[in-house]
Amino acid sequence: MTDITERDASVRERAATARATRPSGPIGARIERKEDSRFLTGMGQYTADITLPRQTHAYFLRSPHAHARIRGIGKQLAEHMPGVLAIYTGADLPESVGGLPCGWLITGTDGQPMKEPKHPLLAQGKVRYVGDPVAIVVAESGDQAKEAAMMLQVDYEPLPAVVDVREARGAAAVVHDAAPDNTCYVWALGDAAAVDAAFARAAHVTTLEFANNRLIPNAIEPRACNASWSAADDSYTLYVANQNPHVERLLMAAFVLGIPEHKLRVIAPDVGGGFGSKICLYAEETVCVWASKRLGRPVRWTAERTESFLADAHGRDHWTHAELALDRDGRFLGLRVKTTAAMGAYLSTFSTCIPTILHATLLAGQYTTPAIHCEVTAVFTNTAPVDAYRGAGRPEATYVVERLVSTAAREMGLAQDEIRRRNFIRSFPYSTPVALTYDTGDYEACLDGAMKLADVAGFPARRAEAQARGRLRGLGFSSYIEACGLAPSNIAGALGARAGLFEVAEVRVHPTGKVTLFTGSHSHGQGHETTFAQVVAERLGISIEDVDVVHGDTGRIPFGMGTYGSRSIAVGGAAIMKACDKIIAKATRIAAHLMGAPAGEVRFLAGTFAVPGTTKNLPFAQVALAAYVPHNYPLAELEPGLDEIAFYDPTNFTYPAGTHICEVEVDPDTGATQVVNFSACDDFGNIVNPMIVEGQVHGGLAQGIGQALIEACVYDRESGQLLTASYMDYAMPRAADLPSFRLDNRVTPCTHNALGVKGCGEAGAIGAPPAVINAICDATGAKEIGMPATPERVWRALRAQRS
């Protein structure tokens, strides 16, 4: 990977300045979210709120089998049901319609490209997971479409299925003929020989084997779309609950439907959560777009909650064997990781890069481990596809590292903070043995901060008090790192990305000096309408009320790569700064003309252009007006107007990091675990809106604790049925399950973007799971407890300890 040590001194300086000036301006202020009054009063406009003239409604018939051959589909009964307009199956899709593409090519250790079987929009020949779409029924009403779908007669020949990631290789069931051993790729990163040498001279080796449990994302708004086609200009409009409308458009138009890209407008209006599950291009919206032209009427689909469980891309699902070699002082010598990662039945958009590029590269954690090797085997299973879910690869990496580190400390009799202090990276930039270069950080500061928040010093007394009540208390540490701000496009490209990962901003200054910001990032809960307005307001010296943020519409925004991987402020925010810089540069020249001064002498500060040492000054709004009413204007050298677009491609990832400390109390009689305290001290670089950041951390921690304690996607091993297909069986964390979080932060500004920001959206979900499990292991004395650590699992671990 490219060595990123060259840095722009002016960028670094401005990042530092942004921090220094924080308290006075909009950046750093706890401003209430501008969008919330809309959401809280029911004025949000979600995809399912949109009804178009001559609206039709779609229902997807899905496979009831985990694996089956389709012998035939009888449509006759269904076609004559009331209100039915059309029924299409995989056989009805023309040759010109392609399969869903995978956005990231992984090349295996054998030099061969990954196995990339076709992902048809509707099953062709076989179904490969319970929920695999088989047919679309379009009718005058949703109920009619559903009732007709129930009358479709699909003749299935059930085939053996494999759902367990551990059993995929060598299973009798073959998901795709193109991958007879169910293997998509075997990929590796790091120096295996160096790792072998490290283990050969180790004084101690800690070994663990565990699952990173499969999760179902559960956005509050189910997936939805409404596709229409205009005969007037042969163009399409797609409303869709999606996190990256431009990527959706590009993939759908160019790679699947063969529609000219400019003839497809994708609008992702208000979107009720994504957590990664709405990054991918899905079959349903693609079929609806195709069908809208066939029918000449708009086609709307909204997933039922059961469909969300069955057919949203799931997260995680790794089986991992990991070993850490240490010297006698507890210094890490080498790390060896072998993981098998489920891809599910088909390759979803970003599936292949998650266990590789976003996982193996993070295995250095916050430590100076000199030799690391990771081998990843990606397998097909008869389950829903797996793709990004909050953290995507980085929670899996952090879980490996932090479980090993905590276990090693216990095995070697070292304090949890001490083993970490002995191994922390302290000098930056730091190039890891797994291809990343950390630009900055202060890991000990976050560790100290978290220990203070968690009152680690008082823990022995709390443990004794709990003991007196017959309860077991434990403390678990997790010092995580993540790579956010995806990503330098050249590096991503070298690693197999089939897209760039820049971001785009357009700052349109209106004649009155008010501003509309068009961003390629997408907000589906993150609060961009507020934080991005704060950035613009700060930079242009105007009020945040004078800035509106537009996102989620390919018809209005020049381009964009969307929101995932905690990239919005780090990449999208930097693009906004760059566009603001262009605005200021041009406005400075206009102001110089108006004030009769050389442009080089004009300074812009706090919304005013001035010539230092003189009384000459002009407010921003007056310069904006001159740009649109160019009566007194340097027309020979400058265009009128004040509207600038910036594309920003980052030079490095950003590296948020921190320490989380979880304190649990276990009831030894029932095995029930209660999280009694959770402390997180994070370094997100500079913070634009501390309140929104805290909200992000709260949500991430809830999901991370949920993964550790209660969330589990379970398929039946025999039938391949999804056993956790509703909230009756899939447990989501609730407020009452969680303590009031103790949060703090430390700041080392990112050195390579103008805001000095790193991103905060995924940190909670990354740091929390190993903190919780480490705490339970500390409380119970068990070496390993699988996630989710249900009461029965903990009870069994305790019983095993006793016997």
**Between 115 and 154, how does the x/- string for binding to other proteins read (CB under 8 A)?**
----------------------------x---x--x----
Q: Work out which of 205, 621, 645, 672 binds other proteins, going by CB under 8 A.
A: 672
- In the bound complex, what is the minimum distance in angstroms from residue 64's beta carbon to other proteins? 13
Cβ proximity to other proteins: between 155 and 729 the closer is: 729
Q: Work out which of 206, 340, 526, 790 binds other proteins, going by CB under 8 A.
A: 790
Cβ proximity to other proteins: between 455 and 737 the closer is: 737
Instruction: Measure the N-to-C terminal CA separation of the chain; round to a whole number of Å.
Output: 50
Cβ proximity to other proteins: between 349 and 790 the closer is: 790
User: What are the CA-CA distances from residue 42 to residues 36, 518, 768 (Å)?
Assistant: 10, 24, 33
Q: Which residue has the tokens 């029918």?
A: 295
Element (H, E) at 592: helix 574-595
- In the bound complex, what is the minimum distance in angstroms from residue 790's beta carbon to other proteins? 8
- In the bound complex, what is the minimum distance in angstroms from residue 716's beta carbon to other proteins? 9
**Side-chain half-sphere CA neighbours of 188 within 13 A:** 15
Instruction: Rule CB under 8 A: say whether 670 interacts with other proteins.
Output: yes
Let me know if 397 is exposed, middle or buried by CB neighbors in 10 A (0-12, 13-18, 19+): buried
- In the bound complex, what is the minimum distance in angstroms from residue 711's beta carbon to other proteins? 9
Whether 378 and 204 have beta carbons less than 8 Å apart is answered as: no
User: What are the CA-CA distances from residue 253 to residues 237, 244, 266, 653 (Å)?
Assistant: 12, 14, 10, 29
Q: Which residue has the tokens 């080089």?
A: 600
Cβ proximity to other proteins: between 37 and 670 the closer is: 670
Bridge partners, residue 685, by sequence: 757
- In the bound complex, what is the minimum distance in angstroms from residue 56's beta carbon to other proteins? 20
- In the bound complex, what is the minimum distance in angstroms from residue 218's beta carbon to other proteins? 12
- In the bound complex, what is the minimum distance in angstroms from residue 142's beta carbon to other proteins? 11
- In the bound complex, what is the minimum distance in angstroms from residue 726's beta carbon to other proteins? 8
Q: Work out which of 603, 792, 800, 801 binds other proteins, going by CB under 8 A.
A: 792
Size of residue set near other proteins by CB under 8 A: 24
Q: Which residue has the tokens 């069955």?
A: 310
Cβ proximity to other proteins: between 521 and 707 the closer is: 707
- In the bound complex, what is the minimum distance in angstroms from residue 147's beta carbon to other proteins? 8
Cβ proximity to other proteins: between 172 and 728 the closer is: 728
Alpha-carbon distance 482 to 358, whole Å? 9
Cβ proximity to other proteins: between 187 and 730 the closer is: 730
User: What are the CA-CA distances from residue 586 to residues 6, 148, 537, 616, 643 (Å)?
Assistant: 28, 61, 17, 18, 10
- In the bound complex, what is the minimum distance in angstroms from residue 723's beta carbon to other proteins? 5
Cβ proximity to other proteins: between 620 and 730 the closer is: 730
- In the bound complex, what is the minimum distance in angstroms from residue 735's beta carbon to other proteins? 11
Cβ proximity to other proteins: between 236 and 795 the closer is: 795
Alpha-helical regions (H) of 27-80: 36-40, 76-79
Looking only at residues 560 through 619 of this chain, which bind other proteins when binding is defined by CB under 8 A?
Answer: none
- Torsion, Cα of 64, 714, 225, 760 (10° steps): -170
Looking only at residues 694 through 733 of this chain, which bind other proteins when binding is defined by CB under 8 A?
Answer: 709-710, 714, 723-724, 727-732
Tokens (6 digits) for 66: 């985990």
Looking only at residues 728 through 787 of this chain, which bind other proteins when binding is defined by CB under 8 A?
Answer: 728-732, 737
Q: Which of these ranges, 6-14, 426-434, 656-664, 789-797, lies near other proteins under the rule CB under 8 A?
A: 789-797
Q: Which DSSP symbol is given to 314?
A: B
- In the bound complex, what is the minimum distance in angstroms from residue 703's beta carbon to other proteins? 15
Q: Which of 512, 535, 544 is nearest to 620 (CA)?
A: 512
Q: Which of 267, 374, 348, 368 is nearest to 49 (CA)?
A: 267
Let me know if 308 is exposed, middle or buried by CB neighbors in 10 A (0-12, 13-18, 19+): buried
Cβ proximity to other proteins: between 504 and 785 the closer is: 785
Cβ proximity to other proteins: between 452 and 796 the closer is: 796
Cβ proximity to other proteins: between 141 and 622 the closer is: 141
Q: Which of 277, 189, 187, 322 is nearest to 770 (CA)?
A: 322
- In the bound complex, what is the minimum distance in angstroms from residue 245's beta carbon to other proteins? 31
- In the bound complex, what is the minimum distance in angstroms from residue 302's beta carbon to other proteins? 14
Tally of residues, the chain: 803
Output phi, psi for 301, to 5 deg.
-140, 135
Cβ proximity to other proteins: between 30 and 734 the closer is: 734
Q: Which of 245, 280, 309, 320 is nearest to 550 (CA)?
A: 245
Q: Which of these ranges, 62-70, 200-208, 493-501, 790-798, lies near other proteins under the rule CB under 8 A?
A: 790-798
Looking only at residues 407 through 426 of this chain, which bind other proteins when binding is defined by CB under 8 A?
Answer: none
Whether 319 and 340 have beta carbons less than 8 Å apart is answered as: yes
- In the bound complex, what is the minimum distance in angstroms from residue 387's beta carbon to other proteins? 23
Whether 335 and 401 have beta carbons less than 8 Å apart is answered as: yes
Tokens (6 digits) for 255: 């790679």
Cβ proximity to other proteins: between 306 and 431 the closer is: 306
Looking only at residues 190 through 249 of this chain, which bind other proteins when binding is defined by CB under 8 A?
Answer: none
Q: Which of these ranges, 129-137, 372-380, 531-539, 668-676, lies near other proteins under the rule CB under 8 A?
A: 668-676
Tokens (6 digits) for 652: 């490095």
Q: What per-residue string of b and e applies to 324-356 under the rule 16 or more CB within 10 Å gives b?
A: bbbeeebbbbbbbbbbbbbbbbbbbbbbbbbbb
Cβ proximity to other proteins: between 55 and 141 the closer is: 141
Sequence letter at residue 442:
D
- In the bound complex, what is the minimum distance in angstroms from residue 469's beta carbon to other proteins? 13
CB-based contacts of 238: which residues, under 8 Å, 6+ apart? 225, 226, 227, 228, 248, 249, 252, 264, 265, 266, 267, 285, 288, 289
Q: Which of 341, 336, 337, 362 is nearest to 184 (CA)?
A: 341
Cβ proximity to other proteins: between 691 and 723 the closer is: 723
- In the bound complex, what is the minimum distance in angstroms from residue 724's beta carbon to other proteins? 7
- In the bound complex, what is the minimum distance in angstroms from residue 389's beta carbon to other proteins? 18
User: What are the CA-CA distances from residue 66 to residues 427, 464, 614, 720 (Å)?
Assistant: 51, 51, 77, 5
Whether 144 and 82 have beta carbons less than 8 Å apart is answered as: yes
Tokens (6 digits) for 136: 């679309």
Looking only at residues 263 through 322 of this chain, which bind other proteins when binding is defined by CB under 8 A?
Answer: 306
Q: Which of these ranges, 39-47, 84-92, 120-128, 791-799, lies near other proteins under the rule CB under 8 A?
A: 791-799
Strand 643-648 vs strand 617-619: parallel, antiparallel, or unpaired?
unpaired
Cβ proximity to other proteins: between 139 and 486 the closer is: 139
Alpha-carbon distance 446 to 458, whole Å? 19
Cβ proximity to other proteins: between 69 and 717 the closer is: 717
- Using CB under 8 A as the criterion, which residues of the chain lie in contact with other proteins when the complex forms? 143, 147, 150, 306, 669-670, 672, 709-710, 714, 723-724, 727-732, 737, 790-792, 795-796
